Chain A
């Protein structure tokens, strides 16, 4: 039986302020947790959006030029974001789904749950990078593994 990550740590490039124990602190790393059924709606939207993006980029034979892919069939966060951006998937809607999944008990700064105002304080570059990493690590790992076996 294959094992998938249940969480990973993302180091923030542009630290942002958050409230902890009566003090204003700088958030430097985020703990991302794998989605459960609680986040199934947002998770399904993100997965489906990515595969729609792949489909829209496929040639007549159904092949997609994935560029410099890693040998193990894994896909990087940057590649995920590039594929979504180059496709006809609505990036605004896609980012909103990602925001919903993060503020729904999937992301923590230490033991503090990420809230909507905290998400708004994050830089755009961090959000984009985080989105790619999250999707590649939690949402696509199992699917791509399955496709690789097939």
Chain B
């Protein structure tokens, strides 16, 4: 029976990262496509596929617990600008995201059960 990948290994800059369970999501970076119709005359139409190249970016999101060590690590990623690499793997799946930048102005909430939500944008997954 196939098993859903629910506990991936997340590596950033060669170090393993402990994340909040069930919080990791990513996009492949294949971009968005739109399909329009062009008229070919005589009542016939053709569909035209168009790639929105602007959206050919991967996004990686996950949450981390707000520990002092995590806060420092996250700050390092932020300061690295787009010189981070993220690898996600598990159950035979491997995706690497080069030139990853931590783009959101993450909120550090210091309290019970608090987490930090992170959003990276990177080159399309390989």
Chain A residues with CB under 8 Å of B99's CB are: 22-23
A117, B83: Cβ atoms closer than 8 Å: no
Give the B interface residue count (CB, 8 A): 18
Once A19-B11, A22-B83, A24-B85 are accepted as A-B contacts, the answer to whether A117 and B100 lie under 8 Å apart by CB is no
Min C-beta distance of B90 to chain A, whole Å: 13
Give the A interface residue count (CB, 8 A): 13
For A112, give its contact among B12, B14, B84, B100 (CB under 8 Å): B14
Chain A residues with CB under 8 Å of B20's CB are: none
- Total A-B contacts with CB atoms under 8 angstroms apart: 39
Residue of A nearest to B126 (CB): A24
Chain B residues with CB under 8 Å of A89's CB are: none
For B85, give its contact among A23, A115, A118 (CB under 8 Å): A23
In the complex, B98 has a CB within 8 A of chain A = yes
Find residues 67-126 in chain B having any chain A CB closer than 8 Å to their own CB. 80, 82-85, 87, 96, 98-100, 126
Once A23-B98, A24-B96 are accepted as A-B contacts, the answer to whether A117 and B14 lie under 8 Å apart by CB is yes
Chain B residues with CB under 8 Å of A112's CB are: 14
User: In the docked arrangement, what's the CA distance between A117 and B9, Å?
Assistant: 10
Extra inter-chain contacts (20) besides given A22-B83, A23-B98, A24-B98, CB under 8 Å: A18-B14, A19-B12, A19-B13, A19-B14, A19-B87, A21-B83, A22-B80, A22-B82, A22-B99, A22-B100, A23-B99, A24-B87, A24-B96, A24-B126, A115-B16, A116-B16, A117-B14, A117-B15, A117-B16, A118-B14
